Amino acid sequence: MKLGAYPAFTATAFQARLAYRNQVWSSVFGELVATFAFIAVWTAAFADRGSVDGVSLPEMVTYVLIAGPLLQWNTTPFIREVGDAIRTGNVTAYLLKPLHYPGLLLFNQLGNNAFEQVTITLPVAIVVALSVGLLPPASFAHGALFLAYWAVSWSMLFLIATVVSLLAFWVLTAFALDWFLRGIMAVASGAIMPFWFMPAPLATILGNLPFAWVSYYPSAVYLGKLDIPAAFLHLALGLAWLAALGGFLAWLWSRASRRLVVQGG
């Protein structure tokens, strides 16, 4: 199947989500409540302190929005959908078609995420900006670099989620895999607690794992917590992790597609 045909999956995924409008307003409400919860947590933590470790409360408010709703999309439906396709044997329908299954997942998820960014994250960002205030990027260069980091973040989370979901070929349950990933991401992505507030040894370990490129590094670059040379260096490291994970995914998929045994039908 030609690469040019895959964007059709993106458009279809986007249009399919339009059919469930009730989910949009309830998701916006749920995301708003959760975002304001984290803003309240940081407001309470900072209390009367102007800044902690060189980080101010407005910076943390901006961090909450970028590291959470903007960058860390919900991998649960994605992992469970792949897990269900493997458990029920429906994945064979994709194997019969002239397409690359991980490629289909990639373009499908792009459509889903584009929909969520437009209908959920954007309204939440507008409400937060108008009510609490959001900071602009630290500089034009940081803003431009953030766009590159955003692409790395999305790709990293997609690759991590796809690798995790394909493990269901061996363990036959995506449910537990999803929960394991949630636990790891809560700490290791920096979405809840930025690494600059963590004990140095822990921050050093987590800062070298691929999860850090999902939330922590892009948010830190946006806020100017990494100078430009350091931002370029970490972008290169992130790309290296992407290449490694991409290679691992290709190897995993080649093994998974060969070992598939469908029981029933």
CB of 199 to another protein, least distance (A): 8
Look-up: residue for tokens 């959760």? 34
Residue 204 engages another protein in binding (rule: CB under 8 A): no
Q: Which one, 43 or 257, has the nearer CB to another protein?
A: 43
Angle (nearest 5°) at CA 210 between 224 and 33: 65
Q: Which stretch binds another protein (CB under 8 A): 91-99, 101-109, 151-159, 186-194?
A: 186-194
Say how far apart CA 30 and CA 32 lie, in whole Å: 5
The answer to the question of residue 20 lying near another protein (CB under 8 A) is: yes
Q: By CB under 8 A, which span of 18-26, 92-100, 106-114, 141-149 interacts with another protein?
A: 18-26
Q: CA-to-CA distance for 257 and 199, rounded, in angstroms? A: 42
Q: Give strand pairing partners of 51.
A: 56
Tokens of 85: 């396709």
Shortest Å distance, C-beta 216 to another protein: 12
Binding to another protein, residues 25-44 (CB under 8 A): 25-27, 29-34, 36-37, 40-41, 43-44
Q: Which is nearer to another protein, 38 or 107 (CB)?
A: 38
Q: Which of 79, 211, 217 is nearest to 148 (CA)?
A: 217
55 binds another protein (CB under 8 A): no
Helix axes 228-259, 101-116, angle to 10 degrees: 130
Q: What is the DSSP string of 69-127?
A: IIT----HHHHHHHHHHHHHSTHHHHHHSSS-HHHHHHHHHHHHHHHHIIIIIHHHHHH
Given candidates 171, 200, 205, 260, which one binds another protein under the rule CB under 8 A?
171
- Work out whether 232 is an interface residue with another protein (CB under 8 A): no
Q: Is 193 in the site for another protein (CB under 8 A)?
A: yes
59 binds another protein (CB under 8 A): no
Binding site for another protein (CB under 8 A): 20, 22-23, 25-27, 29-34, 36-37, 40-41, 43-46, 52, 171-173, 175-180, 182-187, 192-193, 197-199, 202
